[in-house]
Chains A and B, each alone.
Chain A
């Protein structure tokens, strides 16, 4: 049974810092992995999608890596801004349809 864990559960950093969010999964036979952002009281915004055959994806200040053999993905945020404050969720695709979500990391970037 796939289990997805995100560490840390909460993170508070000063503006401008580079930071790393971690996502671990127990079953390496994944289809893909997707990182989302959720603002308070809002829906999920897709940030990056990594296929199982890929090692990383980049979008702007965001870089997500995937290491299937070790069951890990990291989301790197460069030069963090207060607008980056949100909850970040990773979701592991175990098949075409099914996603298992992690518990999320609540990020607060202080001005």
Chain B
């Protein structure tokens, strides 16, 4: 029944490593997003894909590369992880109005 799912739920890794977070939605939505929630709990959009095409790319370092193999998936790959990348990353989807969020991936870079 999970609408938007993310894996892994927790990710602890060393600085400099490359990691990926996966997101899947079973709602049949056309649009998917990645948001970052910082230590002050502020949520900010990073990317948005519509029908597998990138439509929003905020000022995010190019170490972050989203990939959408199909409409139901939007994965986030992060190269050369830095301490400042530690945050909670949320995937979301929408079809027109309203957004549905995943449970989040808590990334800790040591």
Contact = CB atoms under 8 A, between A and B. Distances in A.
Instruction: Tell me whether A and B are bound partners.
Output: yes
Contacts of A98: 45, 48, 56
Interface in B26-52: 31, 33, 35, 40-45, 48, 50
A44 B48 contact: no
Interface in A27-43: 32, 34, 36, 38, 41-43
A95 to B, nearest CB: 9
Given A96-B96, A101-B43, A42 B103 contact: yes
Nearest to A48: B98
A96 B43 CA distance: 18
Interface residues of B, number: 25
Contacts of B56: 97-98
B99 A46 contact: yes
Interface of B: 31, 33, 35, 40-45, 48, 50, 55-56, 90, 94, 96-104, 106
29 contacts: A34-B98, A34-B99, A41-B106, A42-B103, A42-B104, A43-B90, A43-B101, A43-B103, A46-B98, A46-B99, A46-B100, A49-B97, A49-B98, A87-B41, A89-B43, A91-B43, A91-B99, A93-B97, A96-B31, A96-B96, A97-B33, A97-B48, A97-B55, A97-B94, A99-B99, A101-B35, A101-B42, A103-B40, A103-B41
